[in-house]
Amino acid sequence: MALIADIADAVVAALNNQTFSQPFTAERAYRAAFDLQEMKDLHVTVVPKGQELITAGRGVAQSDVQIEIGVQKKLATGDDAELDELMGLVQEIAEFVRTTRQFGDAAWVKTENTPIYSQEHLGELRQFTSVLTLTLRMMTT
């Protein structure tokens, strides 16, 4: 299997072995696409995004892998309290990743959450969508 898929699987396993404020089962996919009817349930999807391979030294390669974690749910009320809970979950996941630091053979480097949610999904679909982009690093010889 591809290195990036292995790392994504390690992220899924770590997420599923942790308890968060809202229960979910993370899944790995190459595309986070669901029917709107399915979005009534909270979806946490781990998607391989990119990989950069550079020389780190004599005979050592550095792989920086980007993994996206999508958090999506159709809103029941769309009020601030509901959105605050979902944003809180995104922050919990980001903190968990930062403090876990190791996913298989890959180490956490940084997490980005820009934009913090999709205004288009919120306005057009009444759906909360937030994506964390992790950068994880692995050194190989």
Domain-wise residue ranges, the chain: 3-140
% of the chain with per-residue pLDDT over 70 = 99
Please state, rounded to an integer, the average pLDDT across all residues of the chain. Answer: 93
**Residue linked to tokens 């699987």:** 9
**Rg of the chain over all Cα atoms, to the nearest angstrom:** 16
Query: What CATH class is the domain 3-140?
Result: alpha beta
Give the pLDDT confidence score for residue 126 in this predicted structure: 94
| pTM score of the predicted model | 0.93
Q: Which amino acid is at 14?
A: A
% of the chain with per-residue pLDDT over 90 = 80
Cβ 69 vs Cβ 46: under 8 Å? yes
